[in-house]
Chains A and B, each alone.
Chain A
Amino acid sequence: MSEVQAPTPVERADADGTSIRRFLIRPEAPALAFLAALLIVFSVSSDKFLNVSNLESILTSVSVLGIIALAVNQVILTGEIDISTGSMLGLCAVGAGAVATSFGGLALPLLAGIAVGALVGAINGLLVTVGRIPSIIVTLGMLYALRGVILLVTGGSWITGIPPETRVLGTGSVLGISFPMIILLILFLVMELVSRHSTWGRNVFAVGGNRRAARFAGLPIDRVRFLAFVLVGVFVGVASVIYMGRAGSVQTNTGTGLELQVVAAVVIGGTSISGGRGSSLAALTGAVLIGVILNGLVLLGVPGIWQQAVLGALILLAVSTDILRRRLLGDKA
């Protein structure tokens, strides 16, 4: 999936560009611009949009999506993809929920969710690296297999009666800011740091940008990708506890359809699907953008059945403008 690519053009642009040009070159630029435009449009068309509580509720409602998108972003940066996250969320929630209803507390269910997620992520990672199976196939197969596992493990029953102390991550708040939002922002900052300043983070860009060159340079390609998949599992585990907190119970269809939104968020935010270009800010922007759009659609009275269509159109719009923008700005990618 990752092709041979020219080095990322940020360095080139820095040398010859004005600061506007330098901003436009950034992968998140179109998404941020679009987000700003939408905020203006929605505030003007509906007076219920631009208030603190509505904005806060948007950010809270995309917290699960955003957290997972931050991790899938890394996978996509390495040139792979992960479309199993919806079923993963369901399975982690089942694990965390089962532990919560038996033992209560917060730490144990959280650990359980993360453990389940890390395990599934590791399986994905192994199948891709050691098994040499393309990640689209691995995660497509896992998407369905895991959903089957959820049904088999729960026997079709829902998990209800999650104790309040477990739900804190989903329902609690500090100084009026909800926990889901706080966790999202913290994880964003962590990912920004890791992505730019850790060896692994920089390797991710190298592997995704030009795998052959990375191999010649002696980078541990398999380990880099494997860890990316495990990271997805860990983040999904955390997100599952937040989800459980907000929803109050775990159903067998938990997470269905989420994987598409996650990939959409990453891609719409500006990370390139071929790998090597993008950032955590792109993933976060994409998730917020999706949340704003869905919220706006509801406020404008657009029937819910059109949501999928809007999502799909956005994905196409985002990748098209990305290509066009890069051509216009003289990138050969």
Chain B
Amino acid sequence: MSAATAVFRRLKFSREVVLLGVLIVLMIAMGLLSPLFFTVGNLLNTSRYFVEVGLMALGMTLIIITGGIDLSVGSNLGLVSVAIGFSFAGGLPLPLAILFGLVVGVAAGFFNSVFITFLDLHPLVVTLGTFALFQGMAYGLSNAEAISNFPEWFAYFGQAYVGPIPGQLFIFVVAVAVVWIILSRTRFGRYVYAIGNNEEAARFSGVPVRKVKIALYSGIGLLVAIASVIYTSRVSTARGDTGLGLELDVISAVVLGGASIYGGSGTIGGTVLGVIIIATLRNGLLLAGVPSTWQLFVLGVLLLVAVFLNEFFRRREE
């Protein structure tokens, strides 16, 4: 085997490189399908949607690295939206209502973590339960109604522009930077990988497994809450069905980004690329006039293909 093929081989398995290549190919393809794709306006507009999914995907990356999962993020988004809207309608000044929403998001995540850490229950079934519980609470508490009479300035979070760039993109960039630093440069980040590789061993070597998990599930609750503020602001309406179904996009993005669902590997860079790829795909298909029904199918298949390739390459590496 020549040196070139050896280098190329090692390259192939660098997750981020492959993804970047996929993204470029995808963008070119979308550009060919519709001349409207490659306008600055369109691209920036698209970036607005992936901020919400992206924020949640950041938290989900860490959780999946530890071998866990959180299916309740979409429902949590709706619950926070209802918390903000209805506390505001109930008389709370809007800044306090937003703060209340953030608290609710974190509390919901903490609620998950209690069942997962203290009762040692599998995250899958706990978050399946809270997926239903949070959604049900969002519907029940809001009585399936919506609140829309927010003051003008609330629209800032979701609809503002700084020059031509959507405001929430800045929030996203900051969040990416913060989470990336936590994961790759702090002891906490090393704990996360350690738990994912072998939880028992990690515990024996002194990793505070329980505290880490509580932090992770509560942390994603905070990210969900921030995403919910942006989402609610984007449509200027608080509704209980906000965010339903987003967990598919979030998990797909993380898995596409290279995280193994069994835990132990994953990067923020990969996740971000995964988020952008999915948003590009959705936007490109829409512009090309592909009906929404096809998009549903494509995304389901994409998730399967992504994980298959993931595990396939991982197995080749071993």
Give the Cβ gap from A245 to chain B, nearest Cβ, in Å. Answer: 27
Interface size on A, residues (CB 8 A): 46
Taking A136-B69, A145-B300, A312-B130 as contacts, is the C-beta distance between A273 and B135 under 8 angstroms?
no
* CA gap between A63 and B300 in the complex, in Å: 29
Kindly specify which of B84-92, B113-121, B219-227 makes contact with the partner chain: B113-121
Please state if A267 and B125 are interface contacts (CB–CB under 8 Å): yes
Contact B124 A140 (CB under 8 A): no
Complex CA distance for A1 and B69, rounded to whole angstroms: 12
Query: Is A144 close to B, CB under 8 A?
Result: yes
CA distance A76 to B278 in the complex (A): 31
Residue of B nearest to A133 (CB): B307
State whether B300 touches A273 (Cβ < 8 A). no
Whether A299 is near chain B, meaning CB under 8 Å from some CB there, is no
List B contacts of A274 (CB < 8 A): 122
Judging by beta carbons under 8 Å apart, are A145 and B135 in contact?
Answer: no
In the complex, are the beta carbons of A141 and B136 less than 8 A apart? no
Q: Are A316 and B126 in contact (CB under 8 A)?
A: yes
Residues of B within 8 A of A142 (CB): 300, 304
Cross-chain contact B133 with A273 (CB below 8 angstroms): no
Once A133-B307, A134-B307 are accepted as A-B contacts, the answer to whether A316 and B130 lie under 8 Å apart by CB is yes
A residues in contact with B120, CB < 8 Å: 323
Contact present for A312 and B134 (CB under 8 Å) = yes
Within the complex, what minimum Cβ distance (angstroms) separates A297 from chain B? 12
Binary contact readout A258-272 vs B (1 if CB under 8 angstroms, 0 otherwise): 001001100100000
Q: Indicate which residue in A140, A149, A263, A312 contacts B133 across the interface (CB closer than 8 Å).
A: A312
Residues of A within 8 A of B315 (CB): 132
B251 to chain A: which residues have CB within 8 Å? 137, 140
Q: Report the bound CA distance from A126 to B133 in whole Å.
A: 32
Interface-forming stretch among A26-34, A175-183, A202-210, A301-309?
Answer: A301-309
Count, chain B residues at interface, CB 8 A = 45
**Contact partner, B128, options A144, A263, A303, Cβ 8 Å:** A263
- Give the one of A131, A273, A308 with max B CB within 10 A: A308
B131 pairs with A260, CB closer than 8 A: yes
B13 CB-CB contact with A under 8 Å: no
B29 close to chain A: CB less than 8 A:
no
* Docked-complex contact A141 and B304, CB < 8 angstroms: yes
Contacts of B115 in A (CB 8 A): 316, 319-320
Q: Does B20 contact A (CB under 8 A)?
A: no
- Write the chain B residue with the least CB distance to A252: B293
Decide if A315 is an interface residue (CB 8 Å cutoff). yes
CB-CB < 8 A to A89: which residues of B? none
B136 CB to nearest chain A CB (Å): 3
**B301 to A, closest residue via Cβ:** A145
In the assembled complex, A38 has its CB within 8 A of some CB on chain B: no
A207-222 interface bits toward B, Cβ cutoff 8 Å, 1 = contact, 0 = none: 0000000000000000
Residues on the A chain within 8 Å of B294, using CB: 148, 152
**Consensus secondary structure, chain A interface:** helix
Q: Is the CB of B119 within 8 A of A323?
A: yes
Q: Is A151 an interface residue (CB 8 A)?
A: yes
Report chain A residues within 8 Å CB of B296.
144-145, 147-148, 151
A315 touching B124 by the CB < 8 A rule? no
Verify B303–A151 contact, CB threshold 8 A: no
Most buried by A among B124, B125, B130, B137: B125
User: A93 at the A/B interface (Cβ < 8 Å)?
Assistant: no
Is B304's CB under 8 angstroms from A312's CB?
Answer: no
CB distance from B30 to the nearest CB of A (A): 19
Chain B residues 262-318 with CB under 8 Å of chain A are 262, 293-304, 307-308, 311-312, 315
Contact A315 B304 (CB under 8 A): no
Given contacts A305-B139, A312-B130, contact A134 B262 (CB under 8 A): yes
A132 and B311 form a contact (CB under 8 A): yes
Residue ID in chain B nearest A324 by CB atoms = B119
Please pick, from B133, B248, B295, B312, the residue contacting A316 in the complex, using a CB distance under 8 A: B133
- The distance in angstroms between the C-alpha atoms of A147 and B315, with both chains bound, is 31
B297 and A309 form a contact (CB under 8 A): no
List 17 A-B residue pairs with CB atoms under 8 Å apart, sorted by A's residue number.
A131-B308, A132-B308, A137-B251, A137-B261, A140-B251, A144-B297, A145-B297, A147-B296, A148-B297, A263-B128, A305-B136, A311-B132, A311-B136, A312-B134, A316-B115, A316-B129, A319-B129
Residues of chain B at the chain A interface (Cβ within 8 Å):
69, 115, 119-122, 124-126, 128-137, 139-140, 143-144, 248, 251, 255, 261-262, 293-304, 307-308, 311-312, 315
Which 5 pairs from chain A and chain B are nearest by CB? A309-B136, A145-B300, A312-B133, A148-B297, A312-B132
